[in-house]
Amino acid sequence: MSDTVHRKLERSAIGFVIAIIAAASVGGIVEIAPLFTIDETVEQAPDMRVYTPLELAGRNIYVREGCYACHSQMIRTLRDEVERYGPFSLAVESQYDRPMLWGSKRTGPDLARIGGKYSDFWHVAHLNNPRDVVPESNMPAYAWLARTPLKTDDLSDHLAAQRALGVPYTDEMIENAARDAYGQATPDTDYAAGVTERYGEATQVSAFDGVTTKVTEMDALVAYLQVLGRLTDAAYRETAAAEEAPASQE
């Protein structure tokens, strides 16, 4: 770049502003726009279901408490990660996730496939006081979740907002959101039947925190943890082999 050209540019505030915008825009446009147009970016998973209202409420609690600051939900394509946590994560598995919770730090383990690994009872005990079940843990205790009733009256609004952004919730799901949240945490009631009807037989209906008289935030969070990695089985089908960690070829 010749000095004289730049000397001229320095004399024009507007010129400089335009030059900065031009230089700074290229990278983002080239890297982000094609993610919406290249079909291979997100795999196909026709069997994938959406979060139930209770699971979505649990996810929002996970977000609210900042769990993502210590737990990732993204198993990388490395051999040791696949052997520790399960098949590596696919883009399609977070296609309904707003925001994504891939995380950036593992002070605790990855949670992308935690669903079904432990019992509801274990999760409740662990959330009440992690050191009761993992003595070495440095995770905060969340005992108060079991004492906090879940706010369900606005769950329809949440589902409607999700649908406006492209998540395939039906009118029936939106209408019955509060009822389904209650039903998923109270097995053997009429409400429970509606949940499996709308979200599939595989949906876990359970008294997550062991108490069926009221739905708490503990119910919602455990319901969410138990569905992690289980909305689709796409990751267990015909995926490529994991990579060796580059520096540790045994």
Q: Which CB, 74 or 223, lies closer to another protein?
A: 74
3-state secondary structure of 87: coil
Q: Which CB, 93 or 180, lies closer to another protein?
A: 93
Q: Which CB, 67 or 192, lies closer to another protein?
A: 67
Q: Which of 41, 167, 49 is nearest to 98 (CA)?
A: 167
Selected from 25, 44, 119, 170, the binder of another protein by CB under 8 A is: 25
Q: Rounded distance, CA 188 to CA 191, Å?
A: 8
Q: Please report whether residue 203 would count as binding another protein according to CB under 8 A.
A: no
Q: Taking CB under 8 A as the criterion, which residues in 220-249 touch another protein? A: 243, 245-248
| Stretch 60-99: interaction string toward another protein, x if CB under 8 A | x--xxxxxxxx-x-x-xxx-xx-xx---xxxxxxxxxxxx
Selected from 116, 119, 122, 157, the binder of another protein by CB under 8 A is: 157
Q: Least Å distance between CB 25 and another protein? A: 7
Q: Rounded distance, CA 90 to CA 224, Å?
A: 19
- What does the buried/exposed string (b/e) look like for 82-114 if buried means 16 or more CB atoms within 10 Å of the residue's CB? beebbbbbbebbbbbeeeebebeeeebebbbbb
Only one of the segments 23-31, 179-187, 198-206, 218-226 lies at the binding site for another protein (rule: CB under 8 A); that segment is 23-31
Q: Which residues pair with 78 in a beta bridge?
A: 243
Q: Please report whether residue 44 would count as binding another protein according to CB under 8 A.
A: no
Q: Please report whether residue 21 would count as binding another protein according to CB under 8 A.
A: yes
Q: Taking CB under 8 A as the criterion, which residues in 99-128 touch another protein? A: 99-109
Only one of the segments 5-13, 114-122, 187-195, 201-209 lies at the binding site for another protein (rule: CB under 8 A); that segment is 5-13
Q: Rounded distance, CA 249 to CA 206, Å?
A: 45
Structure tokens at 99: 């925001």
Q: Which CB, 110 or 186, lies closer to another protein?
A: 110
Torsion of Cα atoms, 237 then 47 then 101 then 130, to 10°: -80
